[in-house]
Amino acid sequence: MQVLRTKCRFYLVVCFMICFFSAAAGHAAQREVHFVVNAGVDRVPLYEDFFAAFEEKTGIKVIFQQAPGPQVGKWEQVITQIAGGLSPDIVGAVSVEFAQYAEKGLLLPIDDYIVQDRVDMGQLLPTLVEALQWRGAQYMLPYGASAIGLFINPQLYDEAGLALPPSQWNQSGWTWDTFLNSARKMTKIDGAGVPTQFGLAGHLTDAWISLPYNWGGDWISADYREFAGDKPGALAALQAQQDIRYTYHIAPLSGESGGGTNGFMNGTAATAVLGTWSLQSVIDSPRPLRMIPWFKVGNNVPKGTINPMGIALLSTAPHQEEAWEFVKFATTDPTGNYLYALAAGALPGHPVAYRRWQVEMQVTKPTLNIGAFVQQVAEYPAIINIRKVSTFNEIDAIMVPMFNQITNNQISPEQGMAQIKPVIQALIDLVGF
């Protein structure tokens, strides 16, 4: 009987241990983080490489939600999910527009996590760190920066007998006038008056928000209190945007083919303005496409728009600890930062990751001149401050149609900005910086 009791106890202990470790293993397997980002289909495999490395290091599984379309669409999806009680944990591809969501209480400040884990903030670029602060709190760590870059097809420069633009920023002779003259020489019109090649694939910008900085302008004053779209710099930039189509015709008018990103990639446009999230397409092109510095306008120091990029931790996140591990891996771990920045089309923020990224980019596409991107972020950045205004979405809804009217030569920049200034100023006044 004693032997039987001993055996029973032994089996009970074994069963308990099996149940305990099975439950523990099940609990560990359930660790996950729900990540939302707006990304093209071509970026998904790169993000998956990051997820695999993250899971290998932490054991945390990433539930990935690809949100197609623009930033606003991504946030609309997130807010809808939160309202339905199914909040994601983190949102990727977030720049200074985070402030409007922080004001609504959607984002969690991460200062306590930074202190708790003794994160070395000195290893990150100060310009990027400061841009992701709001009202005295750090809302995100930067994984790097994307940029609005100027790209050329050197083959079309050679065919036109033109010298290539410089590789380094702020070089004498590389001016708006030089750019304009070169683009005019590379624009070709056939005998029927139909353009067959353009000097510029499209706009001088990816959107209205990125336009005025090389002309010494901005959309908002440095103290975030006054709309500056009617100031000389912004007006001159808008006029230049109108002129490239209707005065010089170096870029396609509505309905004309041969322009756009496809025209640039296919060799029917000599120059294009592209976000660095399109770098993979540039790298994959059989043409020796090249990034160049932005030109100098008048006495203004040349600038290129950059987007300090971070990952926002939602205040409603059901897996906040796991989400913080994701943020740390993507920003402060050299491998994680490299993989994440590669997927996002950004210059990595961690110095070790940045050096690896630059070397590999240059080896992959020797003609790329990736140093122009690095210089843009480190030495000649323009940050879109108006996106930090919490009423930005309402401002954007007003600016987009007016920008289109101006670029389509339906109204002058002066008239357009005078027309909308009172409404936009009222939206800025609501914020109360």
pLDDT digits (tens, 9 = 90+) for 209-223: 999 999 999 999 999
- 141 and 132 in contact (C-beta within 8 Å)? yes
Q: Given this model, what pLDDT does residue 37 score?
A: 92
Q: Given this model, what pLDDT does residue 259 score?
A: 86
Q: Is CATH 3.40.190.10 correct for 147-306+369-431?
A: yes
Q: How confident is the model at residue 26 (pLDDT cuts 50, 70, 90)?
A: very low
- 144 and 344 in contact (C-beta within 8 Å)? yes
Q: Indicate whether 110 pLDDT > 90.
A: yes
Q: How confident is the model at residue 251 (pLDDT cuts 50, 70, 90)?
A: very high
Q: Given this model, what pLDDT does residue 43 score?
A: 86
Locate CATH 3.40.190.10 in the chain: 31-145+307-365, 147-306+369-431
Both tokens assigned to 136 = 């005295």
Q: What pLDDT digit, counting tens, does each position of 27-36 carry?
A: 445 699 999 9
Q: Indicate whether 22 pLDDT > 60.
A: no
Quote the mean pLDDT of the chain. 91
Q: Given this model, what pLDDT does residue 268 score?
A: 95
- 312 and 94 in contact (C-beta within 8 Å)? yes
Q: Indicate whether 291 pLDDT > 50.
A: yes
Q: What percent of the chain has pLDDT over 70?
A: 92
Contacts of 309 (CB under 8 A, 6+ apart): 93, 94, 95, 128, 142, 143, 144, 145, 146, 344, 346
Angle at 412 between CA 409 and CA 417, to 5 degrees: 125
Q: How confident is the model at residue 290 (pLDDT cuts 50, 70, 90)?
A: very high
Range 324-342 average pLDDT: 97
Least confident window among 121-135, 159-173, 305-319: 121-135
Helix axes 392-407, 232-246, angle to 10 degrees: 40
Quick one: which H or E segment has residue 393? helix 392-407
Q: Indicate whether 2 pLDDT > 60.
A: no
The closest of 298, 389, 368, 426 to 96, measured between CA atoms, is 389
Burial class (CB in 10 A: 0-12, 13-18, 19+), 191: exposed
Q: Given this model, what pLDDT does residue 433 score?
A: 59
Q: How confident is the model at residue 432 (pLDDT cuts 50, 70, 90)?
A: low
Q: Indicate whether 68 pLDDT > 80.
A: no
Q: Given this model, what pLDDT does residue 30 score?
A: 63
- 291 and 373 in contact (C-beta within 8 Å)? yes
> DSSP assignment, residue 227?
B
Q: Given this model, what pLDDT does residue 29 score?
A: 53
The closest of 2, 58, 6 to 28, measured between CA atoms, is 58
Q: How confident is the model at residue 7 (pLDDT cuts 50, 70, 90)?
A: very low
- 362 and 290 in contact (C-beta within 8 Å)? no
Q: How confident is the model at residue 10 (pLDDT cuts 50, 70, 90)?
A: very low
β-pairing, 32-37 vs 90-94, is: parallel
CATH topology of domain 31-145+307-365: D-Maltodextrin-Binding Protein; domain 2 (3.40.190)
